[in-house]
Amino acid sequence: MPPEICLVAVSKFHSVESIREAYIAGQRVFGESKAQELVQKKAELPNDIQWHFIGHLQSNKIKYIAPFISMIHSIDSFKLLSEVNKVAARENRIIRCLLQIHVAEEETKFGFSPNECIDMLRGGAWRDLRNVSICGIMGMASFTDNQAQIMEEFNSLSSLFHILKEEFFTDNVAFKEISMGMSHDYPLAVKAGSTMVRVGSSIFGERVY
Ligand SMILES: *Cc1c(COP(=O)(O)O)cnc(C)c1O
């Protein structure tokens, strides 16, 4: 993997011991998808870990992760963004966030459609949120073996990123991340311009739910 790409080791459903092993091997950025699980693991692990939240985030759970979270990848509405802002203000923090974009064909995946995202940003209200920093976008490709389809979806995330950069974030150096690519498709994501890959099972093995 090119060194400039951030590897988020997705440790959801894996033990503190597995995370510690990866930590000892040098990994510092870990991704979790449930607030409670994350809080429990954090308590048992070294403080210099950067925890990324990658799952669907309910408003009432923000307070558990707000004191320490390094980045939230899964902002899927303006309402959630402003809730995060409110809790972050109480913590006196600026929380880095990514806007989750829905490009896959599955209906179950959360996120803005590209047009919803553009409309939200044109609305402009996000500019008043002083305690969140919008650092880019996150997305998932369809779960399929069709490489061309996956590539097309990653390319559409990439082009949306550049459209948003141009229209809303030209002067904002923080807006620079395209979080895309998981165990089965990260090589394609990297080809399409990913800056952050979220890899779980290739590192930790299959999850046992
Ligand atoms: C679980 C998960 C991953 C990691 O998936 P793997 O297939 O295990 O690499 C990445 N991103 C999100 C949003 C996830 O929920």
Ligand 1 atom closest to the Cα of residue 201 is 8
* Residue to mutate, 13, 198, 204, 206, ligand 1, most ligand atoms under 8 Å from C-beta: 198
* Residue to mutate, 18, 98, 182, 185, ligand 1, most ligand atoms under 8 Å from C-beta: 182
- Choose the CATH number for 6-204 among 3.40.190.170, 3.40.50.300, 3.20.20.10, 3.30.420.40: 3.20.20.10
Q: Comparing C-alpha atoms, which of 94, 92, 89 is closest to residue 71?
A: 94
> Ligand 1 within 6 A of 182 CB?
yes
- The residue extents of the domains of the chain are 6-204
Rounded distance between C-alpha atoms, residue 88 and residue 26, angstroms: 29
Running DSSP on this structure, what letter comes out for residue 59? G
> Ligand 1 within 6 A of 109 CB?
no
> Ligand 1 within 6 A of 198 CB?
yes
**Contact (Cβ atoms closer than 8 angstroms) between residue 31 and residue 50:** no
For β-strands 196-199 and 6-10, DSSP reports them as parallel
The whole-number pLDDT of residue 110 equals: 86
Can you give the pTM of this predicted structure? 0.97
pLDDT in tens, the chain (209 residues): 777 999 999 999 999 999 999 999 999 999 999 999 999 999 999 999 999 999 999 999 999 999 999 999 999 999 999 999 999 999 999 999 999 999 988 776 689 999 999 999 999 999 999 999 999 999 999 999 999 999 999 999 999 999 999 999 999 999 999 999 999 999 999 999 999 999 999 999 988 77
> Ligand 1 within 6 A of 11 CB?
no
> Ligand 1 within 6 A of 98 CB?
no
Q: Comparing C-alpha atoms, which of 25, 5, 3 is closest to residue 203?
A: 25
> Ligand 1 within 6 A of 180 CB?
no
For β-strands 29-32 and 177-179, DSSP reports them as unpaired
